[in-house]
C-alpha cells in the first residue's frame, strides 16, 4: 500500500515554520497569514476554500476566522500579481484547514479533497442510508472476507453490499474519486500518481457470481441499490431483488448483515420493534447455520430480537448511538 505524505513535504518546504503560530487576535491572524508565501502553494487557476475550527481562543467565530484567512491570501495575491485565485466553497481544488485552539493557529492543506467517506458510488439514495465508512466498519467487524455467501435482506440503497464487494474484491476506497487535494500541490507528480493507481487497481479481484445478494421490500430502494452497485467493478454480479424478508425461503449457512429500520419517533420505534420480533423468528426458523450481524440504530431495540447474541459492539454514527449485534443461528 502506498502512503504519499504530501502534507509533510509541503509543510517543510513551502510554509514552515509559520504554519503554527501564536494568534491572539484576528489582526494578527490576517498579518501572519498574509506574510506566508501562498503563491508557492496555490496557483491563480486553483480554486480554494477554508474550513475553520476555533476553540478556547480570543477569536471566537470560526467563519470569521476563515474569512480573515481568505482575505489574507487574496490580498497577498492581489499585491503580488494584481489577481487572485477564486474561492469555491463547495468543490474547491484545495481545502485549507484553519484550527485555532488556545490562541494558537495551525493552517494545513487538506490533501484528500473532501471527506473520504464519500466513496462516489452513491448516486441514488433512500430515506435512511448508512454512511459508507460505518458500513465498511461493520463488514470488518463481522470478519467476512468473501469466503461464504453474503445476504442483506433489508439492503436499502445497497451500502453494506457495496462495502462488502469492495472489501472482498480489494476495490480501493478512493476508486471512483477523480479529484484529490494533493493533485493541486506544487510537488504533485502525475506519473507517480498514475502508477500508484494502476498498481492498486491491478489488485482488484473478480467477484464470484452469486456470492453477494440482497433484497428490500421497497422497489425504489432496490433500483437505488442496483444503480449504486453498478458504479463498482463487479457490481453487476450482485443479485438484488424486491421482496420482504418474510418471503425469503431460507438463508442457511449464509452471512447475513443488515440494518433494519430503527424508528426515530416512539410510534415508529414500536413498529421497528415488531418488525425485529418477526425478523428474529425468520432467522431462527429459516437461517440455520447462518451468522447474522444486525446494526440497530437504537439500543432499546436489541431486546426485540428474541435470540441469544454472541456479542454487541457500540458504533456511534450521525447522532445515532447504535449497536452491532452478532447472532449465531443453530
Ligand X SMILES: C[S@@+](CC[C@H](N)C(=O)[O-])C[C@H]1O[C@@H](n2cnc3c(N)ncnc32)[C@H](O)[C@@H]1O
Residues that bind ligand X (CB under 6 A): 126, 128-130, 153-154, 156-157, 159-160, 216-218, 221, 244-246, 259-261, 275
Q: Which is nearer to ligand X, 55 or 250 (CB)?
A: 250
Minimum Å gap between C-beta 206 and ligand X is 24
Q: Which is nearer to ligand X, 153 or 181 (CB)?
A: 153
Q: Which is nearer to ligand X, 149 or 214 (CB)?
A: 214
Q: Which is nearer to ligand X, 149 or 158 (CB)?
A: 158
Kindly give the residue spans of alpha helices, DSSP state H, lying in the chain.
6-10, 26-34, 62-81, 132-142, 159-169, 190-202, 219-229, 266-286
Angle of CA points 37, 41, 45, to nearest 5°:
115
Minimum Å gap between C-beta 158 and ligand X is 6
What is the distance, to the nearest Å, from the Cα of residue 229 to the centroid of all Cα atoms in its chain? 16
What is the distance, to the nearest Å, from the Cα of residue 73 to the centroid of all Cα atoms in its chain? 30
Minimum Å gap between C-beta 1 and ligand X is 27
Q: Side-chain half-sphere of 222: how many Cα atoms within 13 Å?
A: 14
What is the distance, to the nearest Å, from the Cα of residue 159 to the centroid of all Cα atoms in its chain? 11
Q: Which is nearer to ligand X, 10 or 160 (CB)?
A: 160
Report DSSP state, residue 182: G
Minimum Å gap between C-beta 144 and ligand X is 15
Q: Is 183 helix (H, G, I), strand (E, B) or coil?
A: helix
Minimum Å gap between C-beta 49 and ligand X is 28
Minimum Å gap between C-beta 150 and ligand X is 13
- With DSSP H G I counted as helix, E B as strand and the rest as coil, what are the percentages for the chain, rounded to 5? 40, 20, 40
- Which triple of cell numbers denotes residue 59? 477569536
Residue nearest to ligand X (CB): 156
Q: Which is nearer to ligand X, 6 or 295 (CB)?
A: 295
Q: Which is nearer to ligand X, 113 or 260 (CB)?
A: 260
Q: Which H or E run includes 54?
A: strand 48-55
Q: What is the rounded end-to-end Cα distance, in angstroms, of the chain? A: 39
- Which triple of cell numbers denotes residue 132? 459508507
Minimum Å gap between C-beta 58 and ligand X is 43
Amino acid at each position: 500500500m502506498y502512503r504519499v505524505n504530501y502534507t509533510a513535504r509541503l509543510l517543510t518546504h513551502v510554509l514552515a515554520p509559520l504554519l503554527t503560530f501564536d494568534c491572539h487576535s484576528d489582526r494578527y491572524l490576517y498579518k501572519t497569514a498574509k506574510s506566508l508565501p501562498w503563491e508557492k502553494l496555490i496557483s491563480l487557476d486553483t480554486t480554494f476554500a477554508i474550513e475553520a475550527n476555533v476553540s478556547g481562543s480570543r477569536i471566537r467565530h470560526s467563519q470569521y476566522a476563515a474569512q480573515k484567512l481568505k482575505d489574507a491570501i487574496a490580498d497577498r495575491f492581489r499585491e503580488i500579481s494584481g489577481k487572485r485565485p477564486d474561492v469555491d466553497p463547495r468543490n474547491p481544488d484545495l481545502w485549507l484547514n484553519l484550527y485555532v485552539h488556545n490562541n494558537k493557529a495551525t493552517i494545513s492543506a487538506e490533501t484528500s479533497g473532501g471527506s473520504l467517506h464519500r466513496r462516489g458510488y452513491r448516486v441514488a439514495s433512500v430515506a435512511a442510508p448508512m454512511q459508507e465508512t460505518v458500513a465498511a466498519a461493520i463488514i470488518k467487524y463481522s470478519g467476512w472476507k468473501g469466503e461464504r455467501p453474503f445476504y442483506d435482506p433489508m439492503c436499502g440503497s445497497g451500502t453494506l453490499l457495496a462495502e462488502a464487494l469492495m472489501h472482498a474484491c480489494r476495490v480501493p476506497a478512493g476508486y471512483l474519486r477523480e479529484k484529490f487535494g494533493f493533485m493541486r500541490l506544487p510537488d504533485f507528480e502525475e506519473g507517480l500518481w498514475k502508477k500508484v493507481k494502476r498498481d492498486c487497481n491491478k489488485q482488484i479481484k473478480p467477484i464470484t457470481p452469486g456470492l453477494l445478494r440482497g433484497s428490500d421490500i421497497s422497489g425504489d430502494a432496490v433500483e437505488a441499490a442496483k444503480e449504486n452497485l453498478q458504479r463498482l467493478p463487479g457490481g453487476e454480479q450482485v443479485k438484488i431483488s424486491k421482496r420482504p424478508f418474510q418471503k425469503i425461503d431460507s438463508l442457511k449457512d449464509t452471512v447475513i448483515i443488515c440494518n433494519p429500520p430503527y424508528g426515530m419517533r416512539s410510534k415508529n420505534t414500536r413498529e421497528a420493534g415488531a418488525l425485529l420480533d418477526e425478523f428474529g423468528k425468520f432467522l431462527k426458523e429459516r437461517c440455520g447455520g447462518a451468522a447474522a450481524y444486525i446494526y440497530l440504530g437504537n439500543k432499546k431495540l436489541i431486546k426485540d430480537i428474541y435470540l441469544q447474541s454472541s456479542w454487541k459492539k457500540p458504533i456511534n454514527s450521525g447522532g445515532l448511538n447504535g449497536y452491532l449485534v452478532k447472532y449465531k443461528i443453530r
